[in-house]
Structure 1
Amino acid sequence: AWQTGEWGINTLTNLPMLTLSLAIMMKLGLAPLHFWMPEVLQGISLPTGLILSTWQKIAPMALLIQTSHLINLNLTIALGLASILIGGWGGISQTQLRKIMAFSSIGHLGWIIIVLKFDPQLSLFNFILYLIMTSAMFLSLINISATKILDISISWSKTPALTTTIMLILLSLAGLPPLTGFAPKLLIVTELVKQNATLLASSIMLISMLALFFYLRLAYIVTMTLPPNTPNSLLTWRTPHPTHLPTAIINVMALILLPLTPTLLLL
C-alpha cells in the first residue's frame, strides 16, 4: 500500500506476496509447513476432522486463486512437489485413519498447488473434486465409527455395502480410472505437458506412487482380509441402520463424476 497507494490484495509486491503465500500455505497444511495437520487431525473427532479437511480450506484456497497471477512459480512447484512426496511417504506407515486422511489431504493439495500458476480455473475444479472425495471418505468413516484400520477391516459384517463403497472411494482418492479421482490427475498432467513441463509431470506421477501404495493397502485390508473371529457364524448380529441420504449422494459423486468432467469444465 505504501508503494502503490492502494489497499488491495491484487496489488501486492514480491515480498508481501511471498509472506502471504507462505502463511496461506501453512493454513492449508502444505509441506514443509504441514507438521501441525496430522497431529491436530488425529486429536479431534471425525466430524471435526471433516470440517478441518474441507470447509476450513475453502477460504485459504480462494485467496490463493485470487492472487494466482502474483504468486511465485518456483514456490508453488517446490511446495507442490514436497507435499506430494510427504503426503505419500507419511501415510505409508500409519494405522490411524485420521492421520492417513491428513497425509492424503497434503498430497492432493500438492497436486492442486502445482498447477495453480498455470491454470487457476483448473486448480479450482480440482479443489472441488478434492472436497467431494474427502467429504465422502469422512462421512463414510463417521457412519461406521472407524478411526483405525482395524475398525474398517471388521466393518464388512455390519455394513457390507458401505464397506465396498469405502474401498471404491479409496481407489478414487488414489486416482484410478474410471473413478472421479482420475480426472484431477489427468487434467493436471495434461496441462503441465501443454506448458512444456513434461519433466515436472513425470516427477509428480512417479512420486504419487507412494500414495497409491497406501491407498491400495487400505483397499486390500477393507475388502480382502478377514479378521480373526471366534463365532461359528460368519456374520454378526446386525441391527437396522438409518439411511444417510447426504452420505449416499456424496459417495456417488465421489465415484462417477469422471464422465461428466468435460461438461463440468464448461460450466
Structure 2
Amino acid sequence: MCLESETKSEEETRSRRAVQRAIGVQLQARSDIDAQHELERRRDFLCRVMQESGQTTLVLGISGGVDSTVAGRLAQLAVEKQREQGEQGRFIAMRLPYGEQQDADDADKALAFIQPDEVLDVNIKSASDTLLESLENGGMTFDDVHQRDFVLGNVKARQRMVAQYAVAGARGGLVIGTDQAAEALMGFFTKYGDGACDVAPLTGLSKRQVRLLGQELGAPDALVNKAPTADLESLAPQKLDEVALGVSYEEIDDFLENREVSERAFDTILTTYRRTEHKRRLPIAPD
C-alpha cells in the first residue's frame, strides 16, 4: 500500500511538472537568462520593430513600478540607437495618474532614471469618472460599491491606453506594453487596457528576471524591489498584487522557471491560468 501511494504521488508530481513546463513554453519563459544579453536583444527588438513598421516614436505610460521603469529605459535606449544609426527615433513617456497618485514620487524617480525624450502628463480622472457617470445615467447598475469600484478600475486602465494610442496616432508611434510572463500567467491585466499594446518587450520574463534587468540597467533599488501594485481600486488604494492574486510572485516565478512549488500554489496558479485564458487570446471567431 505504501509503495502504491508513493508511486501515485510521484506520478502526480511528474504530471504537475509537465504542466508547468508546457505553460512555461507557451509563455516563452526560461529558467535562466543573461541579463546583459537580454537587454541588448530586447532593445534591438524595439529598433527592428520601428524600422519594419515605419513608425518613429515609442509611447509608454510610466507608473513608478519596475516593469514600466525597465520597459521605459529600454525604449529610450532603442530610440537613441536609432538616432546613432541615422534613423529617426523618439520616446514619449506618459504620466497617467487618476487624480493624486499616492506613489507619485516613484514615478518621478523612474522618469529621472529613464531620461525620456519627452514627458506628457495626462490626468485620467475626469475622463474615467465621466464615462462611469454616463453609464449609470444610461441605466447601468451595480451590485454594490465594490463591484462599481472594480469596474471603475478597469475603466481607468482602458482610459490610460486610450490616451497612449491618441499620442501614438498623432506622433507616428507604437505603444509599448509592460506585460511579462508572471502577469500573463495569472491574467493580471485589464483586457484592452494595459493588456493592449503594439509591442511587448518584456514578454517571457518572470518578475524576478525583470528585476534583474532593472539592476543591470542601474535603476534605483527602491523601484527595482518595490512591492507591485496595480492600484486600480479606489476603495483599496495601493493594494498589493500578491494580495489580489492569492499567491506570491516568488511562487509564480518558480512556476514559470520550472522550479518546485507547493501543491497549494500550483493549484491556485493553474486555476487562475485557465480562468483567464480568454485574456491571452485574440477575439473568438467562428470555425
Structure richer in strand, relative to its length: 2
Structure richer in helix, relative to its length: 1
Structure 1 length-normalised TM: 0.24
Structure 2 length-normalised TM: 0.23
